[in-house]
C-alpha cells in the first residue's frame, strides 16, 4: 500500500516510505542503478518541515570510490514525488552534521533541543534522588 505523504515521517524506517512514495509517483531517484553508482545510503530519520507542508527532509550519503569518504546531502521530497537538494551536494562530512542541518531547515531543531533539555533535567533529578538514597543508607 502506498504511503500517504503526511504519513511518511510517522512510520518506522522513514527512508523506505520516502523511497516508496517517490517510486509510486514516477521518480527513479532511489532506483538500483542510481544507488549503486554512488554507493548511496539513506538515513532512516525523516523530518517534516513545519513551515512548509509540501516537503519532508531526509539525508543521503554518497561514496564514489572505494577510497573516497562518504559525504552527506540533505534533500527534500515533495507531494508530487519530486526530490531536490536542500544543502549543497555532499556538503557534510558527518551524518550527525547533516541531520542537524535537516532539523534546522525543517524547523524542528528547537523542539528537539528542548526535549533533550527536559530529559537531561529529569536524569539529574533522578541521579540526585539516587545519591540521597545512598547517603541515607550509609548513615543508617
- Taking only the tens place, the pLDDT of each residue in 91-102 is 999 999 999 999
> What integer pLDDT is reported at residue 32 of this predicted model?
64
pTM of the model: 0.67
Q: Give long-range contacts, CB 8 A cutoff, 24+ apart: 123-128.
A: none
Q: Which residues of 97-109 are buried (b: 16+ CB within 10 A; e: fewer)?
A: ebbebbbebbebe
- pLDDT band for 130, please (50, 70, 90 cuts): confident
- What proportion of the chain, given as a percentage, has pLDDT over 90? 22
What is the rounded CA–CA span in Å between residue 118 and residue 126?
Answer: 12
Once rounded to an integer, what is the mean pLDDT over residues 65-88? 90
What is the residue whose three cell numbers read 539525508?
A: 59
Closest residue by Cα to residue 93 from 66, 65, 70: 70
> Across residues 48-74, what is the average pLDDT?
87
Contact (Cβ atoms closer than 8 angstroms) between residue 72 and residue 91: yes
| Alpha helix positions (H), the chain | 14-24, 32-37, 95-106, 109-139
Beta bridge partners of 92: 72
Question: How many angstroms separate the CA atoms of 69 and 114, rounded?
Answer: 33
The mean pLDDT value for 32-48 works out to 67
Amino acid at each position: 500500500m502506498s504511503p500517504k505523504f503526511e504519513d511518511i515521517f510517522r512510520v518506522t524506517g522513514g527512508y523506505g516510505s520516502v523511497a516508496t512514495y517517490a517510486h509510486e509517483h514516477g521518480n527513479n531517484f532511489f532506483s538500483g542503478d542510481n544507488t549503486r553508482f554512488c554507493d548511496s545510503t539513506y538515513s532512516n530519520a525523516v523530518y517534516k518541515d513545519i513551515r512548509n507542508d509540501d516537503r519532508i527532509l531526509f539525508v543521503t550519503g554518497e561514496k564514489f570510490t572505494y577510497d573516497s569518504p562518504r559525504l552527506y546531502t540533505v534533500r527534500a521530497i515533495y507531494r508530487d514525488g519530486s526530490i531536490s537538494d536542500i544543502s549543497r551536494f555532499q556538503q557534510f562530512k558527518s551524518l550527525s552534521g547533516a541531520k542537524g542541518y535537516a532539523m534546522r531547515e525543517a524547523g524542528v531543531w528547537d523542539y528537539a533541543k528542548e526535549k533533550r533539555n527536559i530529559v537531561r533535567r529529569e536524569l539529574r533529578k533522578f541521579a540526585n534522588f539516587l545519591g540521597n538514597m545512598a547517603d541515607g543508607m550509609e548513615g543508617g
